[in-house]
């Protein structure tokens, strides 16, 4: 079989590389870009901090930390980073990325940015804290002023004491209040003012009241606006308080209590004029600080915007360098410390590309010595590498989630492309639900190119990744829905039924009569709605699930044949596989045969005299049970066919014989093979002594030594462990055949549940409103249909679909996989330094003089890639037809054979691009001047979505004029015909509508000659400006 096959993993080769130290970095970078080599760690016993390139990795870690810091600052300021592919020119040249000078410059640049941003952050926090203090001081002064005015207006409310036990007065009568109101506070009465968090206010009041025994006067007010504290992420609400007390020690105690509860105290003068002066000073300082803070924020944002231009490219470079140096730490130096030795796994078909990459790296660095690659022979198990495409990728991921295939083992992921959606559909079988699933997945497949360039959320991305799985599940659900004759719980009368109902109903039970016809495909619709419908479909689906289960397990068992043949253990086929197949088929294969036999037999047939030819149909479950309980005995009323007892006895004996066959034969063969290998080994050693003297040389000895060093030591053979393992495996297989067969009954159970739930949903919604008439009936029908459709999608398609998906997963992982799938491999994980594919939007400009074929080519691109075409000419013609102000101006300009003013065109195109910020598009006929190109460049730069491509159609003028003369247009639809290469089916008439074709007003040689001259004068010079690097010429010299 070919080395590259979907049936097995790719053939791997272990290679050894000798890389000169001066080109090792470039070599690893090239191999990383290639992405097809998995390096082995040749220094497993060396600690990470003792390896060769630990200093370089530490430097890269520091650079990575700085990049993460800058990215956090960008996220905090809501500044979007420019995508990697459109980063500023400082770090986008691949030929320079990763060089020593380059990395030094990058490290210096990152350090400078971090220091500047950190310094501005510290300045911003300091200014913010100082502004917070000034704001609090402003509120303290204002609220204190309000308090003094309140005390002057209502002096009686200032009490002497708030505590009955306290005798020391706070203010001596109203005289003290009057002196306080007059801002003449007595010398022995002082106050404390400040702010505190609102949540701490009640606590502060209680603590002060108890500590001062009520000998104080306290007033507070809430500050309505919150404060932005730099040390806290959420806003803080605070209160202003003023406390009057007597005595220096008492005031000191009050200050300590306030400060212990995170209160902030501010000095406030007792004189009114001084308070006004302080308030004026605070307001001026607040204004100054706000201006400084604004300037600081602007400078920091400017710095971060500059960082955002290139930080994505910086992060990618640092990521790649860390991968390169971590890989180089897995290499070993040879004896002279000038060459590094590396080993790794490579797909055998990619050896030539690896050799080519080594050669490119040598040429890039100008090294005098080339890297050397040689293939090594080893007994070590290679990694498993399954090549997939977009169809098989999802199914392979399902299998790999259970376990990675052993190297070169038959890949069940290939067969799951069919078996997985089929078993899903057996449980999900409904034509209507299958169509809904097929439409949803088909839309994702149809627009997959556009969706690949779109940033999807996690849930949508998961469904999009499995779009082909859902597509096939929907297709198979349609197939099984046709077999079940079930569409949204309704039946389909596609063909004549095989049953007829009597016309005279009578008062008894109606019984359908057979017409002798057989329904061509699927379930006869007469069973839907019958009283015994559930009994019939239950029996059918239960037996069908057993048949499918045994067939699936049998197929899984036969996959052992290619595995045993490939791994050169053909003796295991008859030593283990044959008894397994005989055991399974003698019991459950026999059950399947009896199911088919029972289906194919007419149990109610009679002979010419009307005597029944058969007994009543026996129960197969009882038959299987009594096959074990009463071997060789079959009751007459339970007999399925003649000679049944003998056949069942023979099958049971065969199954019993298979158990010791499986148990003993494989260990015996392994023990015998081990003895033969031991004998061959002793003989090889004895004969080699004589041959080495003649044939061995130094090179052969070195090769043998390397091979022996790299080979894994074989595990010692222990017959006891082999026997125990085989006993476990035999018991597991025998019991598993029973439990696994029963497990396949989930196919019947979920199919029944799905059908019944669909029936209930129909009966509870739409069925109840079908009898209603009039306007109310119409409204009720619409509402019931909407409710039914939403519940169908949410419950039956999503929830039931997920349930059936998980059950199909279980059947493939356990019931099918346990019969053949070893899953003892490990994945192939190559070094990949290439950046992840960028989901870049298509922004393309189609240029060319009038009549060059821009519209025709854009139409082809639109049909093939589903990309919207923005045509400046169509925009103008729409305005002309509707007689807008822009349309009247465009009509005059077109008739004069000139180009539209730049301001008008930018107004039209700019408005359309604003609507399509997140879409792909192709611009046709715009830009046409330098000014338009500059405006477009500025717009796309601002949006961080640069142009992808500029196509310039270069067509000779004589060809264009000939096209114009032969061009006819269907004005209402815009369809264009050409008499030379795209003529209408009927001369002068549109192919679709049959309406007459017309000449556009601008389709005349004189007008076109002026427009072509204007294009050469104003538009062609634009190709030398900002969009010049993206321009590509497409030459057209013929009319077709």
pLDDT in tens, 565-615: 999 999 999 999 999 999 999 999 999 999 999 998 888 887 777 777 777
Residue 131 is inside which H or E element, if any? helix 100-153
> Which residue is it, tokens 């043949």?
565
DSSP 8-state assignment for residue 837: P
So what's the pLDDT on residue 707? 46
How far apart are alpha carbons 480 and 474 in whole angstroms?
A: 10
The answer to whether the beta carbons of residues 653 and 701 sit under 8 Å apart is no
Cβ neighbourhood burial of 1 (10 Å; 0-12, 13-18, 19+) = exposed
> Which residue is it, tokens 């009490």?
159
How far apart are alpha carbons 358 and 364 in whole angstroms?
A: 10
Percentage of the chain beyond pLDDT 70 is 85
Q: What is the pTM of this model?
A: 0.71
How far apart are alpha carbons 112 and 90 in whole angstroms?
A: 15
DSSP 8-state assignment for residue 851: T
Cβ neighbourhood burial of 606 (10 Å; 0-12, 13-18, 19+) = exposed
- Per-residue pLDDT, averaged over 548-570, amounts to 94
Residue 185 in this model has a pLDDT that exceeds 70 = no
DSSP 8-state assignment for residue 617: P
Class in CATH terms, 843-1035 = alpha beta
DSSP 8-state assignment for residue 1020: G
* Per-residue pLDDT tens over the stretch 456-478: 888 888 999 999 999 999 999 99
Closest alpha carbon to 667 in 736, 725, 715: 725
- Per-residue pLDDT, averaged over 720-747, amounts to 93
How far apart are alpha carbons 955 and 55 in whole angstroms?
A: 60
The answer to whether the beta carbons of residues 381 and 710 sit under 8 Å apart is no
- Per-residue pLDDT, averaged over 959-982, amounts to 77
So what's the pLDDT on residue 1035? 53
Residue 744 in this model has a pLDDT that exceeds 60 = yes
> Six-digit token pair at 701?
């000895």
pLDDT bracket for residue 897 (50, 70, 90): low
So what's the pLDDT on residue 2? 47
pLDDT bracket for residue 715 (50, 70, 90): low
The answer to whether the beta carbons of residues 63 and 322 sit under 8 Å apart is no
DSSP 193-244: EEEEEGGGHHHHHHHHHHHTTT-SEEEEEE-SS-B--TT-SS-B-EEEEEEE
Residue 806 is inside which H or E element, if any? helix 800-810
Domain segments of the chain as ranges? 12-114+302-376, 132-290, 388-500+517-535+747-823, 569-689+716-744, 843-1035
Reduced 3-state DSSP string for 558-584: HCHHHHHHHCCCCHHHHHHHHHHHHHH
* Per-residue pLDDT tens over the stretch 608-628: 777 777 778 888 988 999 899
| C-alpha distance from residue 342 to each of 217, 369, 472, 656, 904 (Å) | 83, 16, 44, 55, 64
Which fold would CATH assign to domain 132-290?
Answer: Alpha-Beta Plaits (3.30.70)
Residue 406 in this model has a pLDDT that exceeds 90 = yes
So what's the pLDDT on residue 152? 59
907 compared with 825, residue with greater pLDDT: 825
Reduced 3-state DSSP string for 969-1003: EECCCCEEEECCCECCCCCCECCCCCCECECCCCC
| Largest separation between any pair of C-alpha atoms in the chain | 135
* Per-residue pLDDT tens over the stretch 285-310: 888 888 998 898 889 988 998 898 88
Q: What is the rounded average pLDDT for all residues in the chain? A: 82
Cα-atom radius of gyration of the chain, to the nearest Å? 43
- Per-residue pLDDT, averaged over 944-958, amounts to 73
* Per-residue pLDDT tens over the stretch 27-42: 999 999 998 999 999 9
DSSP 8-state assignment for residue 273: H
Residue 839 in this model has a pLDDT that exceeds 60 = no
So what's the pLDDT on residue 504? 66
How far apart are alpha carbons 559 and 1022 in whole angstroms?
A: 65
**Which residues are bridge partners to 342 per DSSP?**
17
> Which residue is it, tokens 């029908």?
781
Closest alpha carbon to 26 in 341, 336, 357, 334: 357
- Per-residue pLDDT, averaged over 666-685, amounts to 77
The answer to whether the beta carbons of residues 1022 and 937 sit under 8 Å apart is no
How far apart are alpha carbons 653 and 586 in whole angstroms?
A: 9
Pairing mode, strands 967-970 and 38-39: unpaired
DSSP E strands in 698-753: the ranges are none
So what's the pLDDT on residue 931? 73
pLDDT bracket for residue 811 (50, 70, 90): very high
- Per-residue pLDDT, averaged over 51-58, amounts to 91
So what's the pLDDT on residue 691? 43
Query: What's the residue count for the chain?
Result: 1040
> Six-digit token pair at 85?
């592919």
Residue 693 in this model has a pLDDT that exceeds 60 = no
547 compared with 247, residue with greater pLDDT: 547
Closest alpha carbon to 929 in 1018, 849, 1016, 1027: 1018
- Per-residue pLDDT, averaged over 42-52, amounts to 88
So what's the pLDDT on residue 1025? 52
Pairing mode, strands 1031-1035 and 949-954: parallel
How far apart are alpha carbons 1003 and 980 in whole angstroms?
A: 16
């Amino acid at each position: 079989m070919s080395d590259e096959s979907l049936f097995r993993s790719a053939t791997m080769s272990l290679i050894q590389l000798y890389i000169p130290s001066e080109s090792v970095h470039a070599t690893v970078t090239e191999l990383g870009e290639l992405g097809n080599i998995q390096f082995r760690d040749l220094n497993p016993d060396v600690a990470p901090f003792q390896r060769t390139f630990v200093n370089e990795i530490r430097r890269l870690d520091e650079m990575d930390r700085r990049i993460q810091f800058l990215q956090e600052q960008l996220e905090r300021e809501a500044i979007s980073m420019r995508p990697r592919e459109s980063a500023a020119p400082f770090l986008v040249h691949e030929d320079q990325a990763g060089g020593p000078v380059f990395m030094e410059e990058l490290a210096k640049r990152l350090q400078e940015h971090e220091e500047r941003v950190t310094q501005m952050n510290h300045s911003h926090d300091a200014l913010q804290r100082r502004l917070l203090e000034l704001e609090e001081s402003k509120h303290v002064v204002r609220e204190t002023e309000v308090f003094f005015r309140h005390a002057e207006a209502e002096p009686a409310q200032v009490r002497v004491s708030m505590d009955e036990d306290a005798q020391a007065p706070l203010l001596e009568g109203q005289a003290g209040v009057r002196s306080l109101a007059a801002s003449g506070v007595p010398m022995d009465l002082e106050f404390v003012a400040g702010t505190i968090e609102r949540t701490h206010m009640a606590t502060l009041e209680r603590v002060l009241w108890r500590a001062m025994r009520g000998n104080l006067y306290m007033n507070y007010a809430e500050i309505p606006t919150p404060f932005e504290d730099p040390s806290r992420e959420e806003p803080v609400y605070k209160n202003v308080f003023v406390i009057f007390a007597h005595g220096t020690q008492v005031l000191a105690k009050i200050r300590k209590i306030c400060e212990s509860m995170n209160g902030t105290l501010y000095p406030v003068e007792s004189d009114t004029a001084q308070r006004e002066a302080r308030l004026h000073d605070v307001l001026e300082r607040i204004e100054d600080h706000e201006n400084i803070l604004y300037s600081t924020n602007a400078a920091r944002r400017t710095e971060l915007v500059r960082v955002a231009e290139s930080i994505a490219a910086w992060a990618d470079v640092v990521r790649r360098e860390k991968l390169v140096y971590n890989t180089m730490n897995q290499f070993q130096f040879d004896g002279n410390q000038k060459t590094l030795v590396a080993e790794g796994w490579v797909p055998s078909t990619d050896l030539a590309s690896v050799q080519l990459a080594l050669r490119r790296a040598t040429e890039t660095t100008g090294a005098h010595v080339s890297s050397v690659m040689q293939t090594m022979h080893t007994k070590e198990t290679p990694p498993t590498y399954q090549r997939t495409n977009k169809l098989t990728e999802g199914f392979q991921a399902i299998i790999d989630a259970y376990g990675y295939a052993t190297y070169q083992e038959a890949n069940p992921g290939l067969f799951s492309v069919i078996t997985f959606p089929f078993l899903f559909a057996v449980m999900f079988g409904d034509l209507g639900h299958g169509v809904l699933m097929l439409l949803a997945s088909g839309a994702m497949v149809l627009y997959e190119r556009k969706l690949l360039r779109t940033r999807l959320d996690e849930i949508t991305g998961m469904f999009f990744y499995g779009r082909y799985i859902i597509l096939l599940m929907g297709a198979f659900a349609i197939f099984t829905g046709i077999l079940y004759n079930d569409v949204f719980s309704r039946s389909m009368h596609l063909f004549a039924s095989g049953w007829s109902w009597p016309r005279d109903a009578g008062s008894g039970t109606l019984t359908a009569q057979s017409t002798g016809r057989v329904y061509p495909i699927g379930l006869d619709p007469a069973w839907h709605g019958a009283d015994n419908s559930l009994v019939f479909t239950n029996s059918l689906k239960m037996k069908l699930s057993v048949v499918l289960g045994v067939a699936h397990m049998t197929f899984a068992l036969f996959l052992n044949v290619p595995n045993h043949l490939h791994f050169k253990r053909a003796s295991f086929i008859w030593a283990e596989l044959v008894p397994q197949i005989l055991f399974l088929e003698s019991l459950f294969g026999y059950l399947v045969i009896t199911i088919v036999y029972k289906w194919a037999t007419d149990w109610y047939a009679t002979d010419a005299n009307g005597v029944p030819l058969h007994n009543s149909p026996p129960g197969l479950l009882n038959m299987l049970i009594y096959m074990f309980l009463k071997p060789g005995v079959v009751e007459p009323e339970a007999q399925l066919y003649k000679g049944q007892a003998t056949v069942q006895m023979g099958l049971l004996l065969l199954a019993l014989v298979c158990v010791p066959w499986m148990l003993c034969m494989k260990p015996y063969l392994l023990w015998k093979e081990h003895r033969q290998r031991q004998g061959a080994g002793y003989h090889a050693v004895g004969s080699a002594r004589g041959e080495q003297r003649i044939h061995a040389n130094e090179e052969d000895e070195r090769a043998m030594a390397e091979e022996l060093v790299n080979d894994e030591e074989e595990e010692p053979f222990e017959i006891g462990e082999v026997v125990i393992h085989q006993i476990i495996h035999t018991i597991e297989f025998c019991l598993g055949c029973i439990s696994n067969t029963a497990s396949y009954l989930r196919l019947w159970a979920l199919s029944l549940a799905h059908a019944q739930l669909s029936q209930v949903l129909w009966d509870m919604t739409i069925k109840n409103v079908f009898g209603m008439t009039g306007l109310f009936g119409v409204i009720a029908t619409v509402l019931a249909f909407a409710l039914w459709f939403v519940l169908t999608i949410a419950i039956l398609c999503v929830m039931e679909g997920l349930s059936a998906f998980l059950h199909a997963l279980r059947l493939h992982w356990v019931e099918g996989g346990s019969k053949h799938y070893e899953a003892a491999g490990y994945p192939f994980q190559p070094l990949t330094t290439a950046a992840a594919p960028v989901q870049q939007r298509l922004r393309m400009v189609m240029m060319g003089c009038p009549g060059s074929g821009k519209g025709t080519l854009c139409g082809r691109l639109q049909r093939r890639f589903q990309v919207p075409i923005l045509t400046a000419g169509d925009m103008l013609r729409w305005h002309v037809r509707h007689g807008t102000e822009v349309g009247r101006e465009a009509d005059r300009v077109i008739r004069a054979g000139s180009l539209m003013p730049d301001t008008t065109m930018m107004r039209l195109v700019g408005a359309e691009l604003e609507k399509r910020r997140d879409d792909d598009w192709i611009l046709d006929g715009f830009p046409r001047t330098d000014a338009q190109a500059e405006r477009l460049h500025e717009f796309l730069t601002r949006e961080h979505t640069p142009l992808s491509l500029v196509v310039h159609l270069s067509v000779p003028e004589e060809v264009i004029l000939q096209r114009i003369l032969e061009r006819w247009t269907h004005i209402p639809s815009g369809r264009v015909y050409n008499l030379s290469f795209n003529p209408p089916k009927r001369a002068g008439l549109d192919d679709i509508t049959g309406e007459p074709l017309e000449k556009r007003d601008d389709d005349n040689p004189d007008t076109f000659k002026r427009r072509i001259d204007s294009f050469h004068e104003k538009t062609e010079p634009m190709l030398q400006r900002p969009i010049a690097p993206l321009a590509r010429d497409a030459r057209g010299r013929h009319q077709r």
